[in-house]
Amino acid sequence: AQSVTQLDSHVSVSEGTPVLLRCNYSSSYSPSLFWYVQHPNKGLQLLLKYTSAATLVKGINGFEAEFKKSETSFHLTKPSAHMSDAAEYFCVGYRDDKIIFGKGTRLHILP
Amino acid sequence: DARVTQTPRHKVTEMGQEVTMRCQPILGHNTVFWYRQTMMQGLELLAYFRNRAPLDDSGMPKDRFSAEMPDATLATLKIQPSEPRDSAVYFCASGTGTGDQPQHFGDGTRLSIL
């Protein structure tokens, strides 16, 4: 069965330090993968998308993600956290008309 | 900027009442999604449409929920009769092509069933 697993429900980092949000997917072949961000009282916003053209994907607001087939991972990173990055982040997979959401990771930024 | 518009933004009603939520997708988008978000269950895909035809509604309770697209500019999600456990934020999203394209989300309808 296909699944998308976000390994941490909460992550706390200090402002100015790197961010790592982890996502693993389970599939016998590479799916399309996305990261979305949700700020309070808002809908989700696309950060970036992977569709096999390049393994390192750059997104908005300084975020990027690397697709690693050998590890079935698609972790989201940012070199330096900003207070405005505090939000919930969702890893999403798509394959054969099935959309699969991870359960989300809430990112806390400490001053 | 083109946006997905959802109405109403907030709805409070009593158990047993019919609730209709509306969504105007971005012009030109042919795929529409409905989601429900609660603290307990997180984000759940209820249904999605491509070219106004339902493609996957396996996440939607069929006995009380129905989703339709009367035309390309309007999607509706109805609950009849509503129950307190339906209290949630309901999101609509639209996109192009299939689910491997980015989705554009509305800001949601916050529904409270008393």
pLDDT tens track for A72-93: 999 999 999 999 999 999 999 9
- Chain B contact residues (CB < 8 Å to A): 4, 33, 42-45, 48, 55-56, 91, 93, 98-100, 102-108
Q: What is the pLDDT of residue B87?
A: 97
N-terminal to C-terminal alpha carbon distance within chain A: 41
Task: Specify whether the CB–CB gap between B79 and B55 falls below 8 A.
Answer: no
- Using CB atoms, pick whichever of A41, A43, A97 lies closest to residue B106: A43
The whole-number pLDDT of residue A16 equals: 97
pLDDT over 70 percentage in chain A: 95
Nearest C-alpha in A relative to B10:
A41
Per-residue pLDDT, B65 = 96
What integer is the mean pLDDT of B35-59? Answer: 90
| Contact assessment for residue B23 and residue B103, using Cβ atoms and an 8 Å cutoff | no
Q: Do B100 and A45 touch (CB under 8 A)?
A: no
Q: Cα distance from A105 to chain B (closest Cα, Å)?
A: 11
Backbone angles phi, psi at A76, to 5 degrees: -100, 135
Is residue A29 very low, low, confident or very high in pLDDT (cuts 50, 70, 90)? low
Tell me what the pLDDT averaged over chain B comes to.
93
Inter-chain touch A98–B56, beta carbons under 8 Å? yes
pLDDT (0 to 100) of residue B14:
96
Check CB contact of A103 with chain B, cutoff 8 Å: yes
pLDDT 10s digits, B60-93: 988 999 999 999 999 999 999 999 999 999 999 9
Q: Which pLDDT band holds residue B101 (cuts at 50, 70, 90)? A: confident
Q: How far apart are CA B69 and CA B7, in angstroms?
A: 15
- Interface touch B99/A97, C-beta < 8 Å: yes
Confidence grade of residue B56 (pLDDT, cut at 50, 70, 90)? confident
Strands (E), A1-111: 3-6, 10-14, 19-21, 23-26, 32-38, 44-50, 56-58, 64-68, 73-78, 87-95, 98-101, 105-110
**Residue A82, token pair as written in the block:** 């900003």
pLDDT of residue A76: 98
Q: Are B45 and A101 an interchain contact pair (Cβ–Cβ within 8 Å)?
A: yes
At residue B1, the pLDDT reads 74
CB contact under 8 A, B42 and A32: no
